[in-house]
Amino acid sequence: MAQVVNIYLILQAFLGQRHGYDMLPCMIQFEQFGILVDTLEEAGEDTQLIHTWYKIDENEVPPVYILQPISSILGNNWCHLYMLQPLSF
């Protein structure tokens, strides 16, 4: 019986473990984006990257910043960049 419990715990730990990276939010509210940019600037960080990946959508009420598709920034051949990353276990 102890073996069955141990296997269950191992599988549960493996399936519950998050591998890789945390997903970025697809949308950031206008006010929150401003706070984020201000915080980055106060910390001395460059905000060019966040302005590259998030573009304002003024058609929404209130306006929001939308995460841009990866192909719009890196082109259509971005998959090879992902495949070059080493696996982390």
Q: Note if the pTM is more than 0.75.
A: no
Tens place of pLDDT for every residue, the chain, 89 residues? 444 444 444 444 444 445 555 678 899 999 999 999 999 999 998 999 899 999 999 999 999 999 998 777 777 665 655 555 555 55
CA distance 57 to 8: 47
- Domain residue extents for the chain: 23-89
